[in-house]
Amino acid sequence: MKDVITIGDAMITLNPNSTGPMQFVNGFERRAGGAEFNFAIGCARLGLETGWISRLGADEFGKYIKKFARGEGIDTSEVHLLEGYSTSLNFKEIQANGSGRTFYYRHPSPTEAMTPSSLSLEYFQGAKLFHMTGVFPAVTPSNVDVLTRAVTLAKEAGLKVSFDPNIRLKLWSAEQARAALLPLMHHVDLLLAGVEELELLFGTSDENEVFTIAQEYEIELVAIKKGDEGAVAWYKGETLTLPAVKATAVVDTVGAGDGFDAGLIYGYLNGYSLKEMLTFATTIGAMVVEVIGDNEGLPHLDDVLAKLGHTTVIER
Q: What is the DSSP string of 91-111?
A: EEEE-TTS-EEEEEE--S-GG
d(CA 311, CA 140): 44
- The values of phi and psi at residue 105, to 5°, are -135, 80
Listed as own residue / partner, the contacts of 21-26 with beta carbons closer than 8 Å and 24 or more positions apart are: 21/93, 22/91, 22/93, 22/101, 22/103, 25/93
CA neighbours closer than 13 Å in the CB half-sphere of residue 29: 11
Active site residue 258: yes
Side-chain half-sphere of 237: how many Cα atoms within 13 Å? Answer: 0
3-state secondary structure of 47: coil
Give the pairing type, strands 221-225 and 50-57: unpaired
Task: Report which of 152, 200, 157, 147 is spatially closest to residue 176, judged by C-alpha positions.
Answer: 200
Query: Rounded CA gap, 83 and 92, in Å?
Result: 27
Among the listed residues 213, 61, 52, 18, the one whose alpha carbon sits nearest the alpha carbon of residue 131: 52
Tell me which of 9, 164, 252, 258 is the catalytic residue.
258
Residue 160 and residue 179 in contact, taking contact as beta carbons nearer than 8 Å: no
Q: Where are the alpha helices (DSSP H) in 162-273?
A: 174-181, 195-202, 207-216, 256-269
Residues with catalytic roles: 258
